[in-house]
Structures are given as C-alpha cells and as structure tokens.
Amino acid sequence: MVKLDAITQEVLDKISEGFGQSGAFNLRQNGISLCHGDSEHIKIKKKEDKPGIDIFIDGTTIAEKVYIPVVVSVSGMTDLVYNDFYIEDGADVTIIAGCGIHNSGCNESRHDGIHTFHVGKNANVRYEEKHYGEGNGTGSRILNPVTNIELGENSVFTLDTVQIKGVDSTVRETNVSMDADAKLFVLERLMTDGEQKAESNIEVTMNGSGSAAQIISRSVGKGHSSQVFHPRAVGKNKCHAHIQCDSIIMDHAEVSSIPEIQAKHVDAAIIHEAAIGRINDEQLLKLRTLGMTEAEAENVIIENFLS
C-alpha cells in the first residue's frame, strides 16, 4: 500500500468518497499512475501508446465499484490522459472518478481527461465524477473533461457529474450514441463564483428504436462568473428524450442555457425546458424566520437545489 501525503488525501476525500487501495482502483497523481489494483472481474492495464489506462470489466461483474481518481498538486502542470472502458454484455458496475487540483503556486495547473466507454448489451453502468479545486496560489485551476459513450442494446448508463468549487475554468464535452432500447440518465450539477467560467456541451444521438434519454442540469452562478450550457438531443429512430436546465443566478453572474432538439424520425419525441432565475424571496423569508442569517438561508437553498 502506497502512503499518501496529506494534500493528496485531503483532495481524495473531496472527489472520491470511499477510495481505498483495495479491489479495482487506479490513482493518478501529477501525470503518473501512483498505485493501482485489479479485482476478480475488473482488470486495469496501462496504455502503451499514450498516457492513460484501459479498464476491462467482464460480464459477470455484479454491483462492483472501481475507483479512478486524479490529483494534480504541482503548480504549472498540464496533465493529459486517455482512459478507455470496455464493459462486456450484462455487467453491472459503478465507476467513481473525479479530479482535484491543489494549486499553491502562480502558474496554471490543468487536467484534460478523455474517457471513452464501450458499453455492451444489457449492461448497467453508473459513472460518478466530481471536480474540485483548492490552494492559496494565484495560478488557475483548469479542468476540461471529454466523455464519449457508446451504449449497446438495452444497456443503461447513468452519468452523475458535480463541480464542487474552486475550478477557474472548465469546458466539458459529452458525446453519447445509443442503440435500441438503451437508456441514458444525466445529472449535471455545477457552481461557479468570482471570475470562474464554465461551459458544458452535451450531444446525445438516439440511433436505435426504443432508446430514451433524460438530461438534467442544475447550476448556481455567483460573483462575476459565467456559465454556458448547450445540451443537444438528436432522435434518428423511435425514441424519447427530455432535457431540463435549471439555474440560480446571483450577484453579477451570467448564465446561458441553449437546449437544442432535433427529430429525424416521425416517432422521435423530444422535449426541452430551461429556467434561469434568482433565489425565491419567499423561501429566503421562511428560513430567516427560523433564525438564519441571509447568507445561511441562501446556502441552505443552494445546497438543496444542487443535491
């Protein structure tokens, strides 16, 4: 077992709850694989042609978890990694990722993770990803994830992403293609403050008959931060999709929501909704009557909104 320093452990506690050096896991720190392990049903191999790993999940995997967190704790570092997941027919697995940047210097620290999921038939996959930044340096903390998902017939994929705090800039690209009867559930939660910027682009293409997607985005913009959300659903067969974007705007923030739907089949049913607004005054007043300060009441409302 590799002994972790205090900073690494602190960041891991934020981004990868439950991580331990047992079962299937891979901890990447400052551009290298610090430690990793396999389980009976999940094998992790280092790529030979570029930075990253291949994760092989066999079809007999039932309710198992695999942890693949990333920690960047060196100021001025740019880390690029390619991770590919090969998930066999019938597998049931939860993948807990996440990236945390601790920057105490004056130079930009950045992590770009490109994750590609090859999901077989009748598989059930849950992918959890948390992003977090900390450190008292003036250098930026930048995270740019790319997530590519190929869903086989009758498979289910749940994508749960959270940007906790401290990330100065992020551009998230998510691309999903779906075969017949595949199901996709996306929950994206994000908070920005100060001068932070966030952009999220999601494109889901429903190729197979009976495929369905639900995309929910919830965000809070504070300070002078800016956010842009651009989810796009394309129906090429008999399918169903629902896009919902809800945002709370505060201070001098700017929030843009650009949901896009495109039907290329007569039986494609796609719905989009978007709402941006300030915190409800009645909710604030109710919490204030319970003895909370305005700031405490706002925090309670935001936490519940993003939960």
What are the pLDDT digits (tens) for 83-134? 999 999 999 999 999 999 999 999 999 999 999 999 999 999 999 999 999 9
**Amino acid letter, 235:** G
Which helix (H) or strand (E) segment holds residue 228: the answer is: strand 226-235
What are the pLDDT digits (tens) for 32-56? 999 999 999 999 999 999 999 999 9
Question: What is the pLDDT confidence band of residue 283, given thresholds at 50, 70 and 90?
Answer: confident
The closest alpha carbon to 36, from 11, 66, 8, 65, belongs to 66
pLDDT at 281: 85
Average pLDDT over residues 246-267: 95
Average pLDDT over residues 188-206: 97
Q: Tell the residue number behind the tokens 């601790």, with chain if given.
A: 102
| Contacts (Cβ under 8 Å, ≥6 apart) of 214 | 184, 185, 186, 241, 242
Rounded to the nearest 10 degrees, how much is the dihedral formed by the CA atoms of 245, 249, 254, 259? 10
Question: What is the pLDDT confidence band of residue 236, given thresholds at 50, 70 and 90?
Answer: very high
- Confidence check: pLDDT of 8 > 90: yes
What are the pLDDT digits (tens) for 135-166? 999 999 999 999 999 999 999 999 999 998 89
Question: What is the pLDDT confidence band of residue 235, given thresholds at 50, 70 and 90?
Answer: very high
> CA 277: distance to chain centroid?
24
- Confidence check: pLDDT of 272 > 90: yes
Question: How far is it, in rounded angstroms, from Cα 208 to Cα 285?
Answer: 49
Written as one string, the DSSP assignment of 113-179 is: EEEEEEE-TT-EEEEEEEEEEE-SSSS-EEE--EEEEEE-TT-EEEEEEEEEE--SEEEEEEEEEE-
pLDDT at 282: 87
Handedness of CA 201, 151, 71, 188 (dihedral sign): positive
pTM value is 0.94
Kindly state the DSSP code that residue 278 receives in the 8-state scheme. Answer: P
Cα angle: 227, vertex 188, 96; to 5 degrees: 130
pLDDT at 1: 83
| Contacts (Cβ under 8 Å, ≥6 apart) of 263 | 235, 269, 270
| Contacts (Cβ under 8 Å, ≥6 apart) of 153 | 121, 122, 179, 180, 181, 182, 208
Question: How far is it, in rounded angstroms, from Cα 248 to Cα 232?
Answer: 21
pLDDT at 86: 98
What are the pLDDT digits (tens) for 209-231? 999 999 999 999 999 999 999 99
Mean pLDDT of the chain: 95
Question: How far is it, in rounded angstroms, from Cα 289 to Cα 284?
Answer: 9
Report whether 254 contacts 283 (CB < 8 A): no
Higher-scoring residue by pLDDT: 259, 40: 40
What are the pLDDT digits (tens) for 13-22? 999 988 989 9
pLDDT at 17: 87
- In the chain, what is the greatest distance between 2 CA atoms, to the nearest angstrom? 61
- Confidence check: pLDDT of 280 > 90: no
Question: What is the pLDDT confidence band of residue 190, given thresholds at 50, 70 and 90?
Answer: very high
| Contacts (Cβ under 8 Å, ≥6 apart) of 81 | 28, 51, 52, 70, 111, 112, 113, 114
pLDDT at 307: 82
